[in-house]
Every structure is written in structure tokens, then in C-alpha cells.
């Protein structure tokens, strides 16, 4: 949304002197001005480049200002643009007709520069406040939709593990014992539920800047190797090659090892989850220098399906999922937690992806 001073204003007047004067006056206040001498040109310009405000003279050949305004207000794409009438007509009927056709204000010629600027500034600011409210309303609607999706996914994710636990308890009550495989399934289900609860708590705590960091010097090399070892069994089970590239000497990192391991674990878990059998995931670490600052960079690159371009900007938002079919893969908290862990450490998380080729998630910690 442009600043009020940079708002676009379209002026219609068949008098070249009036057009020049208004254009110079408004341009001096940093408005972007387009001046046209006919109603047809005004409508064509508005349709191709919708302005923030339109100023119309009433008495025009072929199509007068009233007709132009009625045409604007009949077009759903243009009807919200405020219109100020500029006219030498000072009759009450003329002013009433201007407002009946949809005008927002009326300035009588000859006019004073200060009056024009004040009325223009008011309409531009009002227009932009309205836009802000509309955007806020859209955001609230999206949050409501997000809550609905989250509730549905949460119910889905909790139903299966709780059913497994319930079955184990019923068997214990009815048969006096629980077979080993059932007990193992119940334990796994309980871990799944506890993990989901932990994710929820972490998301809400980090949203309130309450992430309790316990900073210490840790070996970045060992931390990376530990994360690699922890995910080797899962990669083997999925038939995915999990590689590790770490330089001989990495500097120590001042961070909370629990949360750094959590962030890396979330990225590796996602990469393995969305990479097909026979694919490849690479965990790498190095040190980069940008603008005179040194960063420890940890990257997870996969050969999975990639992320659509229109979804990239939302991957780190809570409850966000790339595709609808991801509903069975969790409630979309993992990457949100990663981003908030990085923010708490003064670092940053980013992603590069190409649909059908794979994704690279990168964590950067300041050194």
C-alpha cells in the first residue's frame, strides 16, 4: 500500500489550463498524477491502472462527469475508488446530483490550492484506512479458516494414537495382560501424543517470546553428526540415502543444544517424510561470511517433490501445509517451531525449492 504522498490520482478536465495547474499542484506533494481531457480516456485509464482517487469535472463534451461517475460506480473493480467533483456549478441541485451518482466530495471552482490539497489528502487517507481494514478483515477470515483446518488436523492426529492406547487398556482389563506388539504400539502412540502436545506448547510459548534458552558453547560438528546418526534408522527404513558433509573444523556455537537439535530434527524429519524411496537427503554444515558477519550455516537438502512457488512464503507459518494431502502428516507446527527457535537465537531460517526437484532448508546462526 503506497504512502498517502505517493498515492495515484486521476484527473479529468477538458480545460488544459486546469489540468496543468492541478497536475503541478498535486505533483508538488509527491502524488502520482495522470491527467486526461475526456471521459472515455478517464475510464480507460482507470480500468488499466486503478488510481487511489479520481477528480472529475462535471461539464464535459460527449460524456459529462456525472455519467463518468455512474460508470465507475457500476464497475465492481472501480466502484470503491473515491471521486471528488470539481466544478464551477454552484447550484444545490448540481451538488446533490454529484453525491447521488456516488461522489465523495465536491469542490467549487475557482478553488484554493490549500482546500484542494486538504480534501485530496483526506480522501486518500480515508481510502487507505479502508484498505487497511479490509486487509485486517481478510487476515481474520484466514485465521478462522486456519483454526478450522488446525482443529480438523488435530482431531485426525489424536484419534489414531488414542485409539491404540484405548485398545491396549481394554485388553489389559479384559484379558489381564497386553501382548508385546500391542504394548509397543501403545507406547509409540503415547509418544506421538506427547510430541504433539510439546509442539503446541512450544508454538504458543515462542509466540509470546517465552522460549527458555540455556545458552552454552557447543560443538557444531558434533551436534550435526549427532543429528545425522539419530535419523539413520529412519532413512534406512524408508530406503532413502542420508548423507553428511561437515568440514574438518567447525567453530563452536553459543546456543541451546536442545533447541538446535530440535530444529535440525524437524528439518531432517520433514525431508525424509517427503522424499520418495530411492531418494537422497543431504545434511551439511559450513561457515559463511555476509556483509562482514560470520554465520554457521546448517542445510538440509532433499530430492523430494518440492514446494509450489505460491506456498513458499507460508511454509514457516503455524498450521501451514504445502498441499491438502499433507493433512495426515501432522498439523503443520514443525517449521513454525524451527523459525521461532532461530529467531530466539538471533539467527534465521530460509528455504529454496523447485517443484518436482526438491527443497533446501537452511539455518544460519551468528558467530
- pLDDT for 254 equals 92
Round the CA-based radius of gyration of the chain to a whole number and report it: 31
pLDDT(331) > 70: no
Q: What pLDDT does 320 receive?
A: 59
pLDDT at 329: 47
For range 29-44, the mean pLDDT? 93
pLDDT digits 0-9 by tens, 238-295: 999 999 999 988 889 999 998 899 889 889 988 998 899 999 999 999 999 888 889 9
Beta bridge partners of 284: 245, 299
Residue 168 has a CB neighbour count (10 Å cut-off) of: 20
pLDDT of residue 207: 55
The mean pLDDT value of the chain amounts to 83
Instruction: Categorize the per-residue pLDDT at 176 as very low, low, confident or very high, splitting at 50, 70 and 90.
Output: low
pLDDT at 344 (0 to 100): 86
Supply the pLDDT for residue 318.
66
The grid coordinates listed for 358 are: 526438491
Query: What's the whole-model pTM score?
Result: 0.51
- Residue 332's pLDDT is 59
Is 273 within 8 Å of 329 (Cβ atoms)?
A: yes
Q: What is the pLDDT of residue 307?
A: 86
Q: What is the pLDDT of residues 206-222, one digit of tens each?
A: 555 556 788 999 999 99
Confidence band (pLDDT; 50, 70, 90) for 182?
Answer: low
Does the pLDDT of residue 319 top 90, yes or no?
no
pLDDT at 300: 95
Mean pLDDT of all residues in 286-308: 90
Cell of 180: 508385546
Neighbours of 249 (CB within 10 A): 8
What average pLDDT does range 122-147 have in this prediction?
A: 83
As a residue count, the chain comes to 367
Please check whether residue 134 is in contact with residue 1, taking contact to mean a CB–CB distance below 8 angstroms. no
The Cα 9–Cα 116 span in angstroms is: 13
Q: How does residue 327 score in pLDDT terms, banded at 50, 70 and 90?
A: very low
In this prediction, residue 323 carries a pLDDT of 41
CA angle 93–94–95, rounded 5-degree value = 90
pLDDT band at 175 (very low <50, low <70, confident <90, very high): low
- The share of the chain scoring above pLDDT 70, in percent, equals 78
Digit-coded pLDDT (tens) for 55-112: 999 988 889 999 999 999 999 999 999 999 988 887 889 899 999 999 999 998 888 8
**Can you give the three-state secondary structure of the chain, one letter per residue?**
CCCHHHCEEEEECCCHHHHHHHHHHHHCCCCEEEEECCHHHHHHHHHHCCCCEEEEECCCCCCCHHHHHHHHHHCCCCCCCCEEEEECCCCHHHHHHHHHCCCCEEEECCCCHHHHHHHHHHHHHHHHHHHHHHHHHHHHHHHHHHHHHHHHHHHHHHHHHHHHHHHHHHHHHHHCCCCHHHHHHHHHHHHHHHHHHHHHHHHHHHHCCCCCCCCEEEEHHHHHHHHHHHHHHHHHHHCCEEEEECCCCCCEEEECHHHHHHHHHHHHHHHHHCCCCCCEEEEEEEEEEECCEEEEEEEEEECCCCCCHHHHHHCCCCCCCCCHHHHHHCCCCHHHHHHHHHHHCCCEEEEEEECCCEEEEEEEEEC
Amino acid at each position: 500500500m503506497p504512502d498517502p504522498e505517493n498515492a495515484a490520482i486521476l484527473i479529468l478536465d477538458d480545460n488544459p489550463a486546469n489540468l496543468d495547474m492541478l497536475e503541478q499542484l498535486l505533483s508538488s506533494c509527491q502524488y502520482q498524477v495522470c491527467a486526461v481531457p475526456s471521459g472515455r480516456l478517464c475510464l480507460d485509464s482507470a480500468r488499466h491502472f486503478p488510481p487511489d482517487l479520481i477528480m472529475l469535472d462535471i461539464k464535459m463534451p460527449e460524456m459529462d462527469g456525472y455519467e463518468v461517475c455512474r460508470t465507475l460506480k457500476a464497475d465492481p473493480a472501480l466502484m470503491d475508488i473515491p471521486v471528488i467533483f470539481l466544478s464551477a456549478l454552484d447550484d444545490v441541485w448540481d451538488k446533490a446530483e454529484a453525491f447521488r451518482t456516488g461522489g465523495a466530495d465536491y469542490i467549487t471552482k475557482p478553488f484554493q490550492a490549500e482546500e484542494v490539497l486538504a480534501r485530496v489528502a483526506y480522501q486518500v487517507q480515508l481510502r487507505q484506512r479502508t484498505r487497511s481494514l479490509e486487509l485486517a478483515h481478510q487476515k481474520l477470515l484466514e485465521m478462522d479458516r486456519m483454526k478450522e483446518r488446525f482443529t480438523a488436523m488435530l482431531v485426525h492426529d489424536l484419534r489414531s494414537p488414542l485409539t491404540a492406547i484405548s485398545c491396549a487398556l481394554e485388553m489389559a482389563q479384559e484379558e489381564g495382560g497386553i501382548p508385546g506388539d500391542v504394548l509397543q504400539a501403545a507406547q509409540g502412540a503415547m509418544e506421538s501424543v506427547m510430541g504433539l502436545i510439546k509442539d503446541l506448547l512450544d508454538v504458543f510459548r515462542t509466540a509470546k517470546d517465552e522460549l527458555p534458552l540455556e545458552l552454552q558453547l557447543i560443538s557444531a560438528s558434533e551436534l550435526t553428526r549427532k543429528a545425522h546418526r539419530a535419523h539413520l534408522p529412519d532413512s534406512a527404513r524408508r530406503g532413502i540415502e542420508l548423507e553428511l558433509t561437515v568440514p574438518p573444523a567447525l567453530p563452536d556455537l553459543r546456543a541451546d543444544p536442545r533447541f538446535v537439535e530440535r530444529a535440525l530434527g524437524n528439518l531432517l524429519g520433514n525431508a525424509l517424510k517427503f522424499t520418495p524411496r530411492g531418494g537422497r537427503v543431504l545434511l551439511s554444515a559450513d561457515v559463511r561470511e555476509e556483509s562482514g558477519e560470520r554465520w554457521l550455516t546448517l542445510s538440509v537438502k532433499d530430492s523430494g517433490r518440492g514446494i509450489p512457488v505460491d506456498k513458499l512464503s507460508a511454509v514457516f507459518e503455524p498450521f501451514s501445509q504445502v498441499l491438502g494431502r499433507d493433512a495426515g502428516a501432522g498439523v503443520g507446527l514443525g517449521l513454525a517451531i524451527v523459525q521461532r527457535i532461530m529467531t530466539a537465537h538471533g539467527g534465521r531460517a530460509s528455504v529454496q525449492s523447485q517443484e518436482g526437484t526438491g527443497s533446501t532448508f537452511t539455518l544460519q546462526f551468528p558467530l
